[in-house]
Structures are given as structure tokens and as C-alpha cells.
Amino acid sequence: MRLKATGGEVVTTREPGGSPGAESIRDIVLRGDADRWSPVTETLLMYAARRDHVERVIRPALVRGAWVVCDRFADSTRAYQGAAGGTDPGLIAALETYILEHTRPDLTLVFDLPVEIGLERAYARAGAEMRFESKGLAFHQRLRDGFNALAAAEPTRCAVIDATAAMDDVEAQVWAMVNERLSVDG
């Protein structure tokens, strides 16, 4: 990873998951039928996992001065359970405030591409965790719209990356944005 070449500690993690307790919740949330959980129940499960992840992995890494690179975070709940699923944004905002306290990302990258291409890519790497992918085109269009709305609402924190580009071009976009927004030299 290019960020590691800058000399600091880099912690890579994911959500849902990232800590043993959060990984257990991930197994529950990402498997089964598309309608297994209501959007509100999903929201509560995501924030239960997120709290454990923040307490056990993210905050300790930040206290050590490490970079934390997380595949998905709170914006994913806003988009998946909120914009696409219909959970009240007020509930999500209240949970986010309580669960995250002051732990917020400095930069969020939104990898944007047409829904059909995104689903095609997801099915090409298909595994056991395909619950959200099975929610259909309309859900995924609301999801994409939700992520793009978040990026538009918070342009100083969020950056949209054209994920239809070739992998090398996507990597160049990411690194340019990381350098621009976080002043990383490397």
C-alpha cells in the first residue's frame, strides 16, 4: 500500500466487521434472504458492530498515531439503511452521534459507477455474503443516489472516484485525492 511507504503505521479494516465482535455481527447481517431484517434492525446491528470496531480497533490505532483505512463506515449506514432502505435519517444521526462520539473520517472516498456495472462486478466475485446484492436494481439505484447525495452534501470530507475507469486510473484518482485532502507525501 502506498500509504505505508510514507513511513507511518497503517491499519486496514472493514465494516461491518473489523473486530472479533463486529465480525460475528457481520456474519449475521450479510447472510440470508434479502428481507431477513428490516432496515431499522439492520441499522441497529450495524451500529452495534461499529461501536465494537471503533472501541477495539479504530480509536486505539488513532491514539497510536496510525492511519486508519476502513472499507465502509458510517456513511454506508446512511446510504444502505437510510437512503436505500428507508430508515429515518434522524435515528441514524442520533445513533451516529452516540456511537461514534468524536471519531469521524477525515476523508471518505465514494467509488461511483452505474448500478448494473456494480452488480455485475459483485456477482463476478460472488461468495456467501450476497444478501444486499440480491435486493434488486431499484434498491441499488437509491443506494448510489444516497452515496452521491452524501458526497455532494459534504464535499470537504467526501470525494467521488470514477470507478468505471481502468484499475490504474482509479488508483491514480485515489492517491491524488489522498495527497490533496490529507497532505500525504510519498
Phi-psi sector, 86: left (phi>0), alpha (psi -120 to 50), beta: left
Domain ranges for the chain: 2-182
Average pLDDT (158-178) is: 95
**Homologous superfamily assigned to 2-182:** P-loop containing nucleotide triphosphate hydrolases (3.40.50.300)
Q: Look up residue 108 and give its amino acid.
A: T
Give residue 128's pLDDT band: very low, low, confident or very high (50, 70, 90). low
pLDDT tens figures, 15-52: 999 999 999 999 999 888 888 899 999 999 999 999 99
110 beta partners: 160
**Whether the model pTM is above 0.85:** yes
Cβ-proximal residues to 147 (8 Å cutoff; 6+ apart), any chain: 75, 79, 83, 110, 112
| Angle separating helix axes 115-124 and 137-153, nearest 10 degrees | 110
72-127 tens-digit pLDDT: 999 999 999 999 999 999 999 999 999 999 999 999 999 999 999 988 888 887 66
- How many whole angstroms separate alpha carbon 26 and alpha carbon 23? 5
Q: How many residues are listed for the chain in this entry? A: 186
Q: Tell me what pLDDT residue 5 has.
A: 82
Collect all residues with Cβ–Cβ distance below 8 Å to 96 and sequence separation of at least 6: 47, 74, 77, 78
